[in-house]
Amino acid sequence: MGEGEFALVRQHLEAALNLSLSWVGDHDVYATLTDAASRQGDEAAIRQFAPRAEELAARYGHTLYQAIAHRAWGVAHRLAGEYATADARLNQAVDLFSGLNTRWQIGRTLFELGTLNAAQTNIAGARDYFTRALRAFEEMRAAPDAARTREVLERI
C-alpha cells in the first residue's frame, strides 16, 4: 500500500469511528488502523492506534486482533531500536497466529522477524526468517508477498 493509500484508508477508518454501524465494532476499526500503520512502518500511528486495538482485542478475547496488536507493537519497537521488546512481541504474535493457523499472518510476522534481525545485522537470522516467510507465502500462492520477500532475500 502506497503512502497516499494509507492516508486515504486511515481517513475513512477514522471517520468510521464516529459512526454507529451495527456490522462493525471499534475493535474491527482499531485493529485495521493498527495493521495498516504496521504495514506502512508508521511508528507514530502504531503508537496512536495499537493501545486501543490491544485493549479492545483483550476485552473481547479476539485472538486474531491480539496477535495483530502484538505484531504492530513489534514493528514500533523495532523502529524505536528496542530490539528485545520487538522480538518478544513478534514472537507472541507468531504463537497466537500459529494457534489460529493463519498462514498469511504467520508469513507476515516471520517477515517482520526477518526485518528485525536485519536491523540488528544478524544476516543469518534474517535469511532464516525471510526464507520461512517466503515458504509460507509460496504455499499459499500469495504472489505479491512472495515477490517482495524474494527481493529482500536477494538484497541481503
The residue among 66, 51, 150 whose CA lies nearest residue 102 is: 66
pTM: 0.85
Mean pLDDT of 31-46: 95
Distances in Å between the alpha carbon of 82 and those of 43, 60, 77, 113? 12, 29, 5, 13
Residue 7's pLDDT is what?
Answer: 63
How far is Cα of residue 135 from the mean position of the Cα atoms in its chain?
A: 18
**Domain ranges, ordered by start, for the chain:** 1-85, 102-156
pLDDT of residue 23: 46
Q: What's the pLDDT tens digit per position in 72-121?
A: 999 999 999 999 999 999 999 999 999 999 999 999 999 999 999 999 99
One-letter amino acid of 154: E
How does DSSP classify residue 12? H
44: its cell numbers: 507514530
Maximum CA extent, the chain: 49
